[in-house]
Amino acid sequence: MTDAAHLRHPNATPTRRIALFLCLAYLPLFLAFGTDIPDLFSHLMVLSVTLTSLQTGRRASYDIAVDLSTIFVIVPPYFYDALAGQDRFGVIVAASYLFLHFFRSAVAKLMPETPVVTPAGGRIPPMLDIAYFLFLVISIVTVVFLGDQIGEKFGFSLPLFMAALLLERQLQFGLDRNGFYVRYGFYAATFLIFVAFFWTGFGRLMLGVFLVVPVLVANRYMDVWLRSWQVGMLSPFLLIAAHRSRFSEGGRLTEDSGTGHYLITWEMIETADWRVPRGWEAFFDQFVLLWLQWVPRAFWPDKPIGLGRSYVEDWMGRQNFSEGHSIATGLLGEQLWLLGPFLIFGFAIVFASILALRAIYQRLSPGLVCMAMIFDAYLTTYLWGGMASFGGRIGVALIPLIFFGFFVKRLFPVQAPPSSLPAQAKMTER
C-alpha cells in the first residue's frame, strides 16, 4: 500500500484491523464474564493495540498523534498493572482504543489532507525569524514572572505554541528540512530549560504535547522522518524518566505513573451494581464545559464545576483533600459516573462534539495546520481527564492562537508560487 493510501485510509493496515476485531470482541465478553476472561486473551488484545502504534513509513500527522496517545496514555497503565500481578484494565484499553480508532477514521474521511504547492527554497522574512526566537524567550521569561502554576499553564505554553505557529509560517515560505531542524533545536532547548529549572513535576503528558506539536506541523509540509515506531521503541525509557522526574525513584512505578484514571474507572466498574449514576443533567453540565470551560468564572459565576473536582466532593470527601484538588476519571470512568448503563449515548454525543470542535477550530484558522495539530495532540487530555479538562485546555490554547494566526498572516503574507517556478507538493489541512 502506498503512502498516499495510508494517508487516506489510516486504519486499513492488518494490525489495526486485528486490534479493532479483538477490542470489539473484548467488550461483550467483559460484560458477560467480567474479569473471568482468560488473561491470555486480554494480553493479546492489548498487544495488538500496542502494535497498531508501531507503524512504519510516513503517516498523516493526526495519525501520528493518535499513535502517541496509544503509546503514552492507553497501554502503559495495563502493563504497570500486569507488573503488579493484576489484570483489570483490559476493558479500559479496549474502550479507549475504539474511541481513537473511530476518531482517526472520521478525521481521515471528513477532514482529509490535500496537497498544496509552496515555494521551494523561499526567502524567510528576517522579522519572522526574529519573532520566532522572541517568543521562545518570552515563554521562559513569563514563567519567571508569573510563578510556577500560572506560568507553567499559560505563560510557558501559549508563547511556545505561538512560536510553533511562527515556525509553520516559515515552512509556508519554503523553509527546508535542515532549516527546520535548526529552528526546532532552539525550540527543544527552550523546552529543556523549562523542564530543568521551572517544571513543578505535574503534567508530564503535557510536556510531550509541547515537544511534539512543531514536529507534527512540519510533518504536514515535508518528511521530517518522524515515525511512530521510533517513539514506540523509546517510550519505555521516556515513561520511566518522566515517572522518576516526579517521584525521584522507580520503585513506585506500579503505584501511580499515569494509572490514576484507570484506577478510578475500575472503581466505577466495581460499584456499578449499586452506585446511582448522576444522570443527564450532570452529563450536560460537563458537556457544556467541553465547549466553554475556557470562559473565566468571573464572567460566568454559575459555570458548572468540572467532574474532576465534583467527583472528589461527591464520592471521596473534600475533607481528605485540598480545596483545589481534582481527580482524573478517564473517558470511560466519566461516562460510567454520569450515565451508567446509558454511557454509549454519552460517548456518541461527545465523539460528534469533538469532531465538530476540530472542524470549527480548523475552519477558524484557514491556511494554518498548527491549531489542528495542537487539538490532536491534546486529545490525550480527554482520554485521562474527560470533557471539562479537554475543553479547558484546547480553548485556552487555541482561541488566542486563532487571533494570533490572523495577525501573522497579515504581517507576513505568503505569495502563491507561479506554476512556472519550482515547487514542492506539501500536505496541509483543507
Tens-place pLDDT, residues 311-327: 777 777 666 666 666 78
Please, which residues bridge with residue 119 across strands? 423
Residue 425 host element (H or E) = strand 423-429
**Within a domain: 110:** no
**Quick check: 427 pLDDT over 50?**
no
Higher per-residue confidence, 85 vs 175: 175
- Mean of the per-residue pLDDT values for the chain? 82
Number of domains in the chain: 1
pLDDT: is 241 or 224 the higher one? 224
Q: What is the pLDDT of residue 327?
A: 80
Domain that holds residue 193: 120-225+242-249+405-429
Q: Please, which pLDDT band fits residue 251 given cuts at 50, 70 and 90?
A: very low
| 64: in domain | no
Q: Of all residues in the chain, what percent carry a pLDDT higher than 90?
A: 43
pLDDT of residue 368: 92
61, 216 Cβ separation under 8 angstroms: yes
Task: Identify whether 166 is part of a domain.
Answer: yes
Answer yes or no: is 163 within a domain: yes
DSSP at 159 = H
Q: Phi-psi category of 252—alpha, beta or left, where left has phi over 0 and alpha has psi -120 to 50?
A: alpha
User: How far apart (Å, rounded) are the C-alpha atoms in residues 304 and 392?
Assistant: 12
Give the pLDDT mean for 100-125: 79
Note the pLDDT of residue 231.
Answer: 72
Give the lowest-confidence range in 44-53, 293-302, 372-381, 412-421: 412-421
The more confident residue out of 62 and 118 is: 62
Tens-place pLDDT, residues 335-386? 999 999 999 999 999 999 999 999 999 999 888 999 999 999 999 899 988 9
Specify the 3-state DSSP secondary structure of 114.
strand
Alpha-carbon distance 245 to 198, whole Å? 13
pTM of the full predicted structure? 0.87
Give the pLDDT of residue 319.
63
Predicted confidence at residue 82, as pLDDT, reads 82
- Exposed (0-12), middle (13-18) or buried (19+): which is 412, by Cβ within 10 Å? middle
According to the model, what pLDDT value does residue 146 have? 66
Q: How confident is the model at residue 162 (pLDDT cuts 50, 70, 90)?
A: very high
Question: Is residue 290 in a domain?
Answer: no
pLDDT band, residue 126 (cuts 50/70/90):
very high
The one-letter code for the residue type at 248 is S
Highest mean pLDDT (candidates 73-77, 149-153, 261-265, 407-411): 407-411
Q: Quick one: average pLDDT of 19-28?
A: 95
- 156 within a domain of the structure (yes/no): yes
Residue 3 has pLDDT above 60, yes or no: no
Q: Is residue 311 part of a domain?
A: no
* Cα distance between residue 114 and residue 370, in whole Å: 15
Burial code (b: 16+ CB inside 10 Å, e: under 16) for 213-236 equals bbbbbbbbbbebebbbeebbeebe
Q: How far apart are CA 143 and CA 138, in angstroms?
A: 9
3-state helix, strand, coil in the chain (%, to 5): 70, 5, 25
Contact 217, 369 (CB under 8 A): yes
CA distances from 305 to 184, 195, 219 (A): 38, 30, 38
